[in-house]
Amino acid sequence: MSRLALDDRDIKILSVLSREGRISKTELARRVNLSATPCWERMKRLEEAGLIRGYHADIALARIAAHVEVFVMVELESHRAEAFRIFEAGIGRHEEITDAWAIGGGFDYLLRVTSRDIDAYQRLVDALLEARIGMRRYFSYIVTKAVKADPPPLEHLATHPAPAEE
């Protein structure tokens, strides 16, 4: 897949939208120093290219329901391709697992789990172990306080863009 050529205004549009997804098109155009129509056309091009995957609300979950957030490091029993597919399919069936990353280093996956409480989290882990999806061992890290949660620094990262694929 070839990369879309982005200029400074495209990066600025993406940066503003990553922080303020509900910004008006007029205000966005003003912030990136474009008139409304060219700004809108750029947004549509970025959406169609798959660079903008959606617009989301940042929900204050603690004001809605009690919950616990846990990061889980997982090591698999096997490192065959089939073992990874089985594990990924297995965790995909659980909505409490909100994020999952395959990682390098001493573990194979990092999971983010959001549950009602510790008991609900433990029931999820028990279900994963009973499902025999290949978990050798896991380590749980309970979030005690959210300290920082920002979108990626697009303007900083784009100062040295990756080379375009041919």
Per-residue pLDDT of 103-140, as tens digits, reads 999 999 999 999 999 999 999 999 999 999 999 999 99
Asked if 135 and 78 sit in the same domain, the reply is yes
Taking 3-state DSSP, the helix, strand and coil percentages for the chain, each rounded to the nearest 5, stand at 40, 20, 45
Q: Please give the residue range of the domain that contains residue 120.
A: 61-142
> What confidence score (pLDDT) does residue 74 get?
98
- Give the total number of structural domains in the chain: 2
Q: Is it the case that residue 40 has pLDDT exceeding 70?
A: yes
> What confidence score (pLDDT) does residue 160 get?
56
**Residue (of 61, 105, 107) closest to 87 by Cα position:** 107
Partners of 73 in the beta sheet?
110, 139
Mean pLDDT of the chain: 92
pLDDT band (50, 70, 90) for residue 155: confident
Asked if 40 and 88 sit in the same domain, the reply is no
